[in-house]
Amino acid sequence: MIPRYSRPTMTAIWSPESRFKIWFEIEAHATTALAEIGVVPKAAAETIWAKGKDAVFDVARIDEIEAVTKHDVIAFLTHLAEIVGPEARFVHQGMTSSDVLDTCLNVQLVRAADILIADVDALLAALKSRALEHKLTPTIGRSHGIHAEPVTFGLKLAQAYAEFERNRRRLVAAREEVATCAISGAVGTFANIDPRVEQYVAEKMGLTAEPVSTQVIPRDRHAMFFATLGVVASSLERLAIEVRHLQRTEVLEAEEFFSEGQKGSSAMPHKRNPVLTENITGLARMVRGYVVPALENVALWHERDISHSSVERMIGPDATVTLDFALARMTGVIEKLLIYPANMQKNLDRLGGLVHSQRVLLALTQAGVSREDSYRLVQRNAMPVWRGEGDFLALLKADPEVTAALSLEQIEECFDLGYHFKHVDTIFSRVFGNKAQG
């Protein structure tokens, strides 16, 4: 996470100020719950809320205390006592640092997930809008980078839409994975803290109680969370690579928006480079890279060790901020993507009709020619076209073995582009529901 690839809403979640505010809320809610079950005085809980609620926690002061205690939660509690006064001794009763730290981390991850889900929603909206716009714009489908058969540009975007709808569902599931709270005390036995406190804090913080924690919330949850971000990032990379391919000079079927004032190259003024999607490609690598340490974080020793902590201090912000930025950047790319239907048509026409080879093959088979012979007939007329030595339709019409099986009219029928788009509606209904047909 670096400022260059960060957006403030997501970054704010991870600021020390946010963290201390969440810590305060957890501690204060816990104190309220303790007061309700009679462990601490109600007045103390009220004082804590009253004095702490709008307090601005002094990050520098807390750092200063931590330099001595070498323990961040103790440093915070010491500072809280400076704000709240003697009632502070009722704070954190029976709790352990992890109760605060782990619940806080999950609050942060849940908030981050909410932003990421909203990001995906924005991307979905952009994809849908452009997909409907280009629902029937013909373009060549490519397998292996080689022209295959016609598709529409809308279908390409519909595919991306469906993929990000899956990613949305995955993010919702990932959010649920980490939406738990643990206030279970040392080694998670509730020996010194009543389970009702956990229940209360969980509810107040928008979480559910972790069924069994061991001082820490189990890290398989977080592993699943970050692995999901890695999948979303990989989908982004797929879409980014699609745009990069479409913008290649020889293809030029679409292009990232290029603002006035922008300079593509310090040396070559004509350049218009797909730098946004290249950037997203790199960011996707980063988010994927964070999956590995997240998986390694699961196997903590016994009830807990703290090796996960340094990892999470980094990948917590790094993965969520980077993915947020990449998603938002991609939404901008799609919204403003320059799309060139004329170039698509030009590319479609490029192969002298070869894209219709399969249809000819099928027509031959249906006319009674064996599959092997049909393949041979098509291939021998296709190869010269591939070498630029002729037009596929003309060659077929001149091949007596072909015309023995198909009339000239039947051959020509195989070259109808519309034939390929007859199920676009079906696919759009599957992806967007019935409204997509309007």
Tell which positions 223-282 bind a copy of itself, by CB under 8 A: 223-224, 227-228, 230-231, 234-235, 237-238, 240-242, 244-245, 247-251, 259, 261-275, 278-279, 281-282
Looking at 144, 259, 266, 302, which residue is catalytic? 144
Least CB distance to a copy of itself at residue 216 (A): 8
Q: How far apart are CA 233 and CA 187, in angstroms?
A: 36
Least CB distance to a copy of itself at residue 66 (A): 10
Of residues 279-318, which lie at the interface with a copy of itself (CB under 8 A)?
A: 279, 281-286, 288-293, 295-311, 313-315, 318
Q: Active-site residue 245, yes or no?
A: no
Q: Is 114 exposed, middle or buried (CB count within 10 Å of its CB: 0-12, 13-18, 19+)?
A: middle
Q: Is 130 exposed, middle or buried (CB count within 10 Å of its CB: 0-12, 13-18, 19+)?
A: buried
Q: How far apart are CA 388 and CA 402, in angstroms?
A: 21
Least CB distance to a copy of itself at residue 109 (A): 16
Least CB distance to a copy of itself at residue 50 (A): 20
Return the ∠ at Cα 234 (arms to 425 and 231), rounded to 5°: 95
Q: Which residue number, 206 or 264, has a Cβ lying nearer to a copy of itself?
A: 264
Interface stretch with a copy of itself, choices 43-51, 54-62, 113-121, 138-146 (CB under 8 A): 138-146
Q: Which residue number, 54 or 259, has a Cβ lying nearer to a copy of itself?
A: 259
Interface stretch with a copy of itself, choices 20-28, 48-56, 349-357, 404-412 (CB under 8 A): 349-357
* 257 to 64, 68, 166: CA distances (angstroms): 48, 53, 27
Contact 29, 200 (CB under 8 A): yes
Site string for a copy of itself, 96-135 (x = CB under 8 A): xx--------------------------------------
Q: Which residue number, 103 or 347, has a Cβ lying nearer to a copy of itself?
A: 347
Return the ∠ at Cα 381 (arms to 380 and 386), rounded to 5°: 100
Q: Which residue number, 134 or 221, has a Cβ lying nearer to a copy of itself?
A: 221
Q: How far apart are CA 317 and CA 46, in angstroms?
A: 33
Residue 224, classed as helix, strand or coil, is: helix
Contact 146, 355 (CB under 8 A): no
Nearest to 303, CA basis, from 204, 185, 191: 185
In this structure, the number of other CB atoms found within 10 A of the CB of residue 371 comes to: 11
Contacts of 74 (CB under 8 A, 6+ apart): 65, 66, 97
Q: What is the DSSP letter of 303?
A: T
Interface stretch with a copy of itself, choices 45-53, 119-127, 145-153, 396-404 (CB under 8 A): 145-153
Q: Which pair of tokens denotes residue 146?
A: 């080689």
**71 makes contact with a copy of itself (CB under 8 A):** yes
Of residues 155-194, which lie at the interface with a copy of itself (CB under 8 A)?
A: 155-156, 158-159, 162-163, 166-167, 170, 173, 177, 185-192
Q: How far apart are CA 129 and CA 436, in angstroms?
A: 10
Interacting residue with a copy of itself among 50, 133, 206, 358 (CB under 8 A): 358
Of residues 413-432, which lie at the interface with a copy of itself (CB under 8 A)?
A: 419-424, 426-427, 430-431
Interface stretch with a copy of itself, choices 27-35, 46-54, 379-387, 394-402 (CB under 8 A): 379-387
The single residue listed with the structure tokens 């997509």 is 436
Q: Which pair of tokens denotes residue 43?
A: 């007045």
Count of residues that bind a copy of itself according to CB under 8 A: 166
Q: Which pair of tokens denotes residue 141?
A: 């489908």
Q: How far apart are CA 209 and CA 228, in angstroms?
A: 22
Q: Which residue number, 40 or 107, has a Cβ lying nearer to a copy of itself?
A: 40
Q: How far apart are CA 250 and CA 266, in angstroms?
A: 22
Interface stretch with a copy of itself, choices 43-51, 121-129, 141-149, 400-408 (CB under 8 A): 141-149
Q: Active-site residue 265, yes or no?
A: yes
Least CB distance to a copy of itself at residue 347 (A): 6
Looking at 129, 265, 310, 370, which residue is catalytic? 265
Least CB distance to a copy of itself at residue 350 (A): 7
Interacting residue with a copy of itself among 28, 44, 385, 395 (CB under 8 A): 385
Interacting residue with a copy of itself among 37, 43, 50, 68 (CB under 8 A): 68
Q: Is 321 exposed, middle or buried (CB count within 10 Å of its CB: 0-12, 13-18, 19+)?
A: buried
Least CB distance to a copy of itself at residue 114 (A): 20
**Residues classed as catalytic:** 144, 265
